[in-house]
Amino acid sequence: MKRLLVTGASGFLGSRIIEYYQDRYEICAPSHTDMDITDKEKVAAVLCEFKPHMVVHSAAISDVGMCEREPERSWKINVDGSRNIAEASAKVRAKCLVCSSDQVYFGSQARGPHKEEEDVVPLNVYGREKLLAEEECLRRNPECVILRLSWMYDTRTLKEGEHGDFFRTLAQRLRTSEDLSYPVNDVRGITDVNEVVRKLERCMEIKGGVYNFGSSNDRNTYETVLVMFEELGWDTARLKKDEDSFGASPRDISMDQDKLKKSGIIFPSTVESLVRNMRDILLLNNN
Ligand SMILES: NC(=O)c1ccc[n+]([C@@H]2O[C@H](COP(=O)([O-])OP(=O)(O)OC[C@H]3O[C@@H](n4cnc5c(N)ncnc54)[C@H](OP(=O)(O)O)[C@@H]3O)[C@@H](O)[C@H]2O)c1
């Protein structure tokens, strides 16, 4: 059995990786207290002992607001911690997959869908940390596969207390009679986390470098929900445009999929996945 080490295993993505791969890999999933990724020696020792074939590095301060409030702490974790993982992976010759973010494109002069080789100047602390982490990881370990993830969701809650997401928030709001308002000034891919999890194994075979890794979406969030409602035959009267969010600096962090497709990895579009998942939930609830 091949060995897989996952950082951030208690998190939203990490817990789903463990669930999906547990029968097919021997897994090491050190908790934050077992292996603080900012502790370089500890990271090296854990990887040296377990000798993974593949490492998925998902540990991070993923809360954008928290990074703004605590830049020093988040820098240590998101940049220094990532570098430690990439370096230790290189020493044990493990293929290292590093979770980055579409937020690196926020502030980019170019219009979306953005390509990996574009010059980027991220606007927020989180985006800057992720970008620097990408560069540091590739410098220490050129075989690293950097995954620029988009906004991920699941239809189910795996663990009490995990952070919310687009799909479950929408599903919850649908049960109320309130208006549903979504930003018109935000264009971004929204991806089923299970698609991400299933495709990770394929990344073992791709060349080191940066990859956009998620569903394509050229619609703003309001239009995304509108099209979803139309496809499902739902009344769109409840949908309202939120003109304020990102009004001062409209955001388009949608990602181009060409490089990933050339590596044989194809995600369904954001709307396609959302509609399919919503239909599955409705079927489940009706049975
Ligand atoms: N969720 C999204 O939509 C999204 C979108 C784009 C990119 N990403 C990126 O994808 C990755 C996974 O995101 P996520 O949503 O699963 O994050 P998450 O739910 O916030 O989980 C983060 C994980 O990191 C661990 N962690 C934090 N500091 C650590 C440290 N110093 N040492 C060891 N572990 C530490 C946390 O453990 P404790 O809770 O015990 O501290 C937790 O298990 C992150 O890199 C994130 O930036 C996520």
Ligand 1 atom 47, closest CA: 62
Centroid of ligand 1 to alpha carbon of 157 (angstroms): 16
Q: What pLDDT score was predicted for residue 282?
A: 86
Answer yes or no: is pLDDT of 171 > 80: yes
| Same domain for 173 and 114 | no
Ligand 1 contact, 89 CB (< 6 A):
no
Q: For residue 65, what are its two tokens?
A: 């607001």
Answer yes or no: is pLDDT of 17 > 80: yes
Instruction: Report, as an integer, the average pLDDT of 235-264.
Output: 96
What is the domain count for the chain?
A: 2
Ligand 1 atom 34, closest CA: 32
Ligand 1 contact, 82 CB (< 6 A):
no
Ligand 1 atom 36, closest CA: 8
Residue 164's pLDDT band (boundaries 50, 70, 90)?
A: confident
Q: What pLDDT score was predicted for residue 178?
A: 87
Instruction: Report, as an integer, the average pLDDT of 52-59.
Output: 98
Q: What pLDDT score was predicted for residue 13?
A: 98
Centroid of ligand 1 to alpha carbon of 176 (angstroms): 30
Q: What pLDDT score was predicted for residue 285?
A: 82
Ligand 1 contact, 105 CB (< 6 A):
no
d(CA 282, CA 287): 9
Ligand 1 contact, 30 CB (< 6 A):
no
For the beta carbon of residue 162, count every other beta carbon within 10 angstroms: 15
Mean pLDDT of the chain: 96
Answer yes or no: is pLDDT of 248 > 80: yes
Q: What pLDDT score was predicted for residue 127?
A: 98
| Same domain for 139 and 33 | yes
Q: Which residue has the higher pLDDT, 13 or 109?
A: 13
| Same domain for 282 and 163 | yes
Answer yes or no: is pLDDT of 287 > 80: no
In a domain, 263, yes or no: no
Q: What pLDDT score was predicted for residue 284?
A: 82
| Same domain for 247 and 107 | no
Ligand 1 contact, 152 CB (< 6 A):
yes
| Same domain for 238 and 127 | no
Instruction: Report, as an integer, the average pLDDT of 187-193.
Output: 98
Answer yes or no: is pLDDT of 91 > 80: yes
Ligand 1 contact, 149 CB (< 6 A):
yes
Domain range for 18 is 3-152+190-213
Ligand 1 atom 15, closest CA: 12
> What digits encode the pLDDT tens for the residues 209-247?
999 999 999 999 999 999 999 999 999 999 999 999 999
CA atoms within 13 A on the CB side of 49: 9
Ligand 1 contact, 11 CB (< 6 A):
yes
Centroid of ligand 1 to alpha carbon of 30 (angstroms): 13
